[in-house]
Amino acid sequence: MITRDVAAFSTFFQQATTDFGPATARATFLIAPDGFALAEQSAQDNAYMADAAAFDAVRASAQHRDLQRALSSVVPTVCFAGREDTPDALFPNNVFGTAAGRSIIGRMRHEVRQREAARDDIRGFFRNVLGREEVDLSPQAHPCELTGALVIDRARGLGFCGLSERCDEEGARLMHDAFGLRATLCFDLAPGEYHTNVVLAVLAGRAAVVCPKGFARQPVAAAIAQLYAPHAVLCSDAEHAAFVGNCIAVSRDVVWMSADAGRALLPQHRDVLAAAGFSVRTVALDAIEAAGGSLRCCVGEIF
């Protein structure tokens, strides 16, 4: 089922079992911020990006290495080299995704990011090393920026797809099929928002972090939060701006977010996550956040 009908999706959610697959990834992968710089094409529809003068490639590289070291404490984490002509490649989850037995290649909106999908080494890793069937969405015309646009409850096989210039309705359908989901709820992001995973996180199928201001219709945000109540965080504007919504659980008991997000996280919201069984760990990523994304954007998941 693919629908914009929140009530119908909510009914489906209540009936969905948590046997679709593992709630968290088997491993994660990163792409180093080699060539880290302002990507002017991406800046056209990413209001979170800083001016070129704010980009510090040396600091971004060091923080990215710290991120790999941190994630490796809970799950195997590999890192591919970056390339000078793909300055946004440190956000690989928009381009490369996985589902059981499959690797999925997304269709990026901007040409500077479309180059990333052509990397033979990453495709070869999934195809030849991990033995995955490749589902390549990159040649078709509809933008579908994978788990940037599509937040997935992996335990239930349910998707939450925010539509914007980075993903249209046909792109949502293509991703729904590629990930083999049971149901996907489509909704419009607020003007100025580019990816769903900046304003919504589903954590191991047990909790949700929702930034209502990022949704074109805030009742949709409230309805999604209600699905995971009482383990749902409704972010303040300050938490939203600090990328609290761009968090991730790659194991069953830890939520990862940037250090700035961790400082912005309200004590009562930290308590909500603790009640769901999560501790919060952080990594300083301020240099990387200049590029318009935060911790979750950096993490590709291997299911």
Q: Which long-range contacts (CB under 8 A, 24 or more apart) does 221-224 make?
A: 223/6, 223/10, 224/160, 224/185, 224/200
Query: In the chain, what are the domain boundaries?
Result: 2-302
What one-letter code names the amino acid at 88?
Answer: D
Q: Is 149 in contact with 176 (CB distance < 8 Å)? A: no
pLDDT for the residue 224:
98
What integer pLDDT is reported at residue 38 of this predicted model? 52
pTM attached to this predicted model: 0.94
Mean pLDDT, residues 78-105? 95
Q: Tell me the C-alpha distance between 103 and 101, whole Å.
A: 7
CA distance 6 to 4: 6
Q: Of the spans 20-24, 42-46, 85-89, which averages the highest pLDDT?
A: 20-24
Write out pLDDT tens, residues 237-290.
999 999 999 999 999 999 999 999 999 999 999 999 999 999 999 999 999 998
CB-based contact 169:138 (threshold 8 Å): no
2-302 is classed CATH 3.75.10.10: yes
pLDDT at position 88 over 90? no
Average pLDDT of every residue of the chain: 94
**Mean pLDDT of the 211-240 span:** 98
Question: What is the CB neighbour count within 10 angstroms for residue 71?
Answer: 26
CA 11-148-238 angle, to 5 degrees, is: 85
pLDDT for 43: 47
Taking residue 219's Cβ as centre, other Cβ atoms within 10 Å add up to 11
Q: Would you say 103 and 133 are in contact if contact means Cβ atoms under 8 Å apart?
A: yes
Average pLDDT estimate for 51-56 = 68
What is the per-residue pLDDT for 178?
A: 98
CA distance 294 to 58: 17
Interatomic CA distance for residues 154 and 251, integer angstroms: 12
Distance from the Cα of residue 191 to its chain's centroid? 19
Angle of CA points 221, 222, 223, to nearest 5°: 90
Residues with Cβ within 8 Å of residue 175, at least 6 apart in sequence: 104, 106, 137, 144, 146, 149, 150, 159, 161, 167, 184
- SS3 (DSSP) at 110: coil
Query: Is pLDDT at 53 greater than 80 in this prediction?
Result: no
